[in-house]
Structure 1
Amino acid sequence: MKDGENRLVPRDSLFLMADMRAEGLDGSYPIKVRNLSAGGMMGEGTLRIVRGLVVEVDIRNIGWVTGSVAWVQENRFGVSFADEIDPSLARAPIGQGDSPAPAREHKI
């Protein structure tokens, strides 16, 4: 996506807890997902990250999604996903999406 195009993509405003792993850091860290779209998300957390960092986020009913940090502002950040997801799956009750997404297990 070109700069500016991402503002045209529909987003779901929501509040989900998720775990995030970052390139070069051990373990996973809890974050809040504030909005979610097919191509990315806005998160919030205390993890110190920088623009361009490769990360993975474990999103409910979807699994681990790889992306890169697009922007950082204080404790909020944007992640652009490497592959599109179906954000409606994250709103479904845990484990009860119409078609369960295959588990994605990646290590950065």
Structure 2
Amino acid sequence: MARVEVGDATTMTGVETRSVTRDSLFLLANVRVEKQSDQHRVRVRNLSDGGMMGEGTIKINRGNRVEVELRTVGKVMGSVAWVQDQRFGIAFDEEIDSQSARAPSSSDGDEAERSGSLSYAHRAPSTPPSPDNLRKI
């Protein structure tokens, strides 16, 4: 009996059934279903050059045409490949550079410098801490 887990294309035999590498990450994106004006904010759970897995309360069906707006990538057209509960897969019409979605947008740092305030949300230090400065537990 073969079992396939949702979001993971590996069967119990350990054979990878997808040939495209996907990046697991946590990004937000705007999704708009074709012929609807409302945009919905969704979480991007994994992303490849050819598609993405998203999660959110958006009402979509398999086969819907959608427009996805990813930061640093821009707007991408695609089709909903599958839907399960609040998760869904989108196959992009054209391949994107999925690695660029990980890069911080150039305006993020510029805006912080102009306003004189720095944001420390979800940012790792630019240099690793010295072992001498670590507290021993």
TM-score range, shorter chain: 0.7 to 0.9
- Identity in percent: 56
- Cα offsets for 1:66-105 (capped at 9, x unmatched): 0000000000000000000000000011138xxxxxxxxx
**TM-score, with normalisation over the residues of structure 1?**
0.81
- AA matched with 2:68: V
| Counterparts of 2:17 and 2:97, CA distance in 1 | 16
RMSD, aligned CA:
1.8
- AA matched with 2:69: D
Runs of 5+ in structure 1 lacking a partner? 97-108
Q: 2:23 aligned with 1:12, yes or no?
A: yes
Q: 2:90 aligned with 1:85, yes or no?
A: no
Q: 2:41 aligned with 1:52, yes or no?
A: no
| Counterparts of 2:71 and 2:18, CA distance in 1 | 24
Q: 2:80 aligned with 1:72, yes or no?
A: no
| Counterparts of 2:92 and 2:34, CA distance in 1 | 15
- The aligned residue for residue 40 of structure 1 is 51
Larger radius of gyration: 2
Deviation of the 1:6 alpha carbon:
7.3
Q: Quick check: which one's strand share is greater?
A: 1
The number of aligned residues is: 93
Runs of 5+ in structure 2 lacking a partner? 1-8, 10-15, 108-137
